[in-house]
Amino acid sequence: MRFTRLKLTNWRNFRSADVPLCPRTFVVGPNASGKSNLLDAIRFLKELAEPGGGLQRAVVEQRGGLKAIRSIHARNVTYVGIEAAVTGDDGVEWVYELRIAEGDRKARLPHVVKETVERRAGLPSMTRVRNVRNEDPDERTQTWLEQRLQSKDFRELAKFFASVEYSHVVPQVVREQRRPADQSRPRDPYGSDLIEDMATTPIREQKRRLGHINQALQGVLPQLVKIGVGRDKVGRPYLDARYQHWRKPSARQDESQFSDGTLRLLGLLWTLSGKGGPVLLEEPEISLHEKAVALLPALLHRVVAASGRQIIVSTHSLSLVNDAGIEPREVVALESTREDTKVHIGTEYPMLVDIARQGQPFGHEIVGMTAPPEVDQLDLFLAE
């Protein structure tokens, strides 16, 4: 299954957005245009459906309340809306729509004002529309996605939402390892349980994934012999890297001695080598060499082709989007305006389509189109 379209109403930067999504999608735009917020809308669906999640946790605990989510450009429209279209391998299309607003004035808890689930092209087709007017206030503080009894007819969709994986590894968080892995809760996207997750992965699967990673890293780190996972005397997991040395035995290092770029690349490759649902990558180019960044589009294409996982990437790196294999339809370009953020697909730009038809990369053009209009003002900083 994969996301094919995402519609947003009053979600942070977006008063109204309609975003078609490909198996591999690149979201580009200037700073503060809403790249992270677009990915966050998909994370929101995940948090509604995953074990231990739900509407109140997703809105209040994770995002600071509905006021922090609702667009400052919303004006008279009081609700926040998300609509997601999902297509399965069997060709069945699901459409899930949720609208939420602020509830009782005393509790200020977000509540559901509309929830709809449709299954199209299935046998039989299904449409469920929630009649919130017949419910008491407590019922309206939960979505169907978090209620196992209510979601039994579309549990496949709920599981798909819960399978979304967001990755934005922070090297210092990986080094600190403050949080042990726990199968009953979602993996920390920032890496506090990355090494524990690697250590607790079944041996056969761990060897498979580390084998692919070692093969890839040896091209980036020529002196690397092998990276593995071990545990110290108190049971704490650690990364065990062996490097070629001028004398035997080979030198060894753990994560405390890894560079930021090595840890970020390791976290990225570990995520991509796994199995599951869609992967959301937040600026994977950070701390990586330009040559390595330029190879990421082809790597992501291979992952999509081999595993069937959808990959959605936010970036403003020229090296990452300047690849001849990227099609205009795979690019979502964000434009900041005084009213909100506008969404454009690469196919809307005839110049990009023409360049792509010639088999040439259009990275310079798309980065130029999405650059802040007054970016040259930085040149005036401290200028006499």
CATH number at residue 85: 3.40.50.300
Residue 381 has pLDDT above 80, yes or no: no
21 and 137 inside one domain: yes
User: Tokens standing for 277?
Assistant: 């649902």
188 and 72 inside one domain: no
Higher pLDDT, 175 or 383: 175
Which of 242, 275, 308 corresponds to the end of one domain? Answer: 275
Which of 275, 296, 312 corresponds to the end of one domain? Answer: 275
Q: Which residues contact 87 (CB under 8 A, 6 or more apart)?
A: 1, 2, 4, 93, 94
Residue 213 forms part of a structural domain: yes
310 and 368 inside one domain: yes
pLDDT digits (tens, 9 = 90+) for 216-238: 887 777 778 888 898 888 888 99
Give residue 106's pLDDT band: very low, low, confident or very high (50, 70, 90): low
337 and 251 inside one domain: no
Print the domain residue range for 217. Answer: 179-275
Residue 105 has pLDDT above 70, yes or no: no
**What is the rounded average pLDDT of the residues 145-149?**
86
53 and 141 inside one domain: yes
Residue 210 forms part of a structural domain: yes
pTM: 0.90
121 and 260 inside one domain: no
132 and 6 inside one domain: yes
Residue 246 has pLDDT above 60, yes or no: no
pLDDT digits (tens, 9 = 90+) for 337-352: 888 899 999 999 999 9
Residue 169 forms part of a structural domain: no
Residue 173 forms part of a structural domain: no
Residue 383 forms part of a structural domain: no
**What is the rounded average pLDDT of the residues 125-134?**
87
Portion of the chain with pLDDT greater than 90, in percent: 57
Residue 113 forms part of a structural domain: yes
| pLDDT of 379 | 65
pLDDT digits (tens, 9 = 90+) for 23-69: 999 999 988 888 999 999 999 999 999 988 899 999 999 999 999 99
Residue 379 forms part of a structural domain: no
Which of 275, 298, 324 corresponds to the end of one domain? Answer: 275
239 and 335 inside one domain: no
150 and 129 inside one domain: yes
Give residue 182's pLDDT band: very low, low, confident or very high (50, 70, 90): low
Residue 183 has pLDDT above 90, yes or no: no
Residue 205 forms part of a structural domain: yes
Lowest mean pLDDT among 19-33, 109-123, 196-210, 216-230: 216-230
323 and 193 inside one domain: no
Total domains present in the chain: 2
157 and 255 inside one domain: no
pLDDT digits (tens, 9 = 90+) for 298-332: 999 999 999 999 999 999 899 999 999 999 999 99
Q: What region does 53 belong to: left with phi over 0, alpha with psi -120 to 50, or beta?
A: beta
152 and 38 inside one domain: yes
When the pLDDT of each residue in the chain is averaged and rounded to a whole number, the result is 88
